[in-house]
Structure 1
Amino acid sequence: MDDIVSYFAALDPLMAALFAGLFTWGVTALGAALVFFFKDINRKFLNMMLGFTGGVMIAASFWSLLQPAIEMSAGEGFKKVMPSAIGFVAGALFIFGLDKLMPHLHINFAKSEGPKSSLHRTTLLVIAIALHNIPEGLAVGVLFGGVAYGLGDATITGAVLLTIGIGLQNFPEGVAVAMPLRRMGLSRWKSFTYGQLSAIVEPIFAVLGVLAVGFFVPVLPYALAFAAGAMIFVVIEEVVPETQAEGHSDVPILGFVLGFVVMMVLDVALG
């Protein structure tokens, strides 16, 4: 772990964020690559993995993003917490707005959302997952940007741990996109291509996150909370409902608990 942290610490901030984003994208591709070996996957197992994804995202939103945002804000009481509160609400509204403005289709293929579109259902699905991967890339970039400019409690170890955490939860996301496409009859290669393509926004927004912090240094608490709010919105709007699509089950809840604990331990014990 120390070697990984040292490696990222020696990099230019933009390159560090880019490599971190490429890593999280690569883990998504690894999950999508399961279509080369399986045509389907046990639904309970997939739900457990998606629950794990939700747990990691919720834990990362607090320990990696909200907590540092609050601690690096000046003042006391309401003055100290308001930048995080404003950023958090703005992040949730940002994803809400994208959901309304962009045509997309959720993983369960139940119905399309947003403006009416003639795009293929597969394309709509990829758009949906890509939209929901934006806050993950942004979170990584903003944290690396905070480290680069020596702001508050942003640390290179924290940024690396967040990258690892997002990578862990991206694996089941890759599976969750590629497997349904394979069941629909798409070829293995097309299912894999669409599955990994859904995370292409992560390295892009990781770099944009660093640039945003560089241009507007005082906004870091807002930016961290913004990413947290966006991630929480995605978990509640997309991940949790998908785990219960075929009826209530305790399996994804246990997966959620496991993911939450794993990310909490990583962030608190190592960060």
Structure 2
Amino acid sequence: MKRFTRHTVLITGGTSGMGLATARRLLDEGAHVAITGRDEGRLAQAAVELDAGESLLTVRADAADLADLDVLMRRVETWRGSLDVVFANAGTGVFKPSADITEADFDHSTDVNFKGVFFTVQKALPLLRDGGAIVLNASWTLHRGLPVASVYSATKAAVHNLARTLGSDLAPRGIRVNSVSPGYIDTDMYRGAHPDPEADARNAAQVPLGAVGRADQVAAAVAFLASGDASYITGQDLVIDGGLVGSVPHH
């Protein structure tokens, strides 16, 4: 399928994990894709991996820095003139007991996961065509308590709330806004939070489908929500978790 031919897509945090997998998926479906990251070296490596030539734009930008976002939007406008899809994917995680969370942890988490998502969308709106689509990356933890994820989960709950409120706010322009809530997905952030080699087995045991998920499985869901196949869906959260939130594993 080439559902995104002649479409221009912006993906923040596109140098690894779900962002990179989504970039690959949408490039394969015909899109021109701009990806961001905070590290020039990782951006360069992502460009090599994607090997998309003039269909790919890489921009060094911190999603929590509004000046960086202004530069990003100018680069995208110069490159393609407008946007059809935004995947606000950039995020960070601090996983500690609540008693150990510092003010710096709190500020960094909210700056990237909430402030960054909101202003990515706000600053993209002048470029986003009527009838376009926005997908926000939330988390399964907004649906189920996790003891070391108090601030992280709260920021992701805010992200989904944005999907609902922005879905209403932007409906007059025909712009759909939805979120995805990935479960345990094998990414760099996941590995950082679960360095124990036994973690995969323990986590998979909580999942009815019996496995930790892959980034390309999330990318497929993002592609669906961003495409015309989801033309009557807005303000929703699509949980991609192998049943982690809603079902009890069969043991």
Shorter-chain TM-score: which interval? 0.3 to 0.5
Structure with the largest fraction of strand: 2
Structure with the largest fraction of helix: 1
Q: TM-score, normalised by structure 1?
A: 0.34
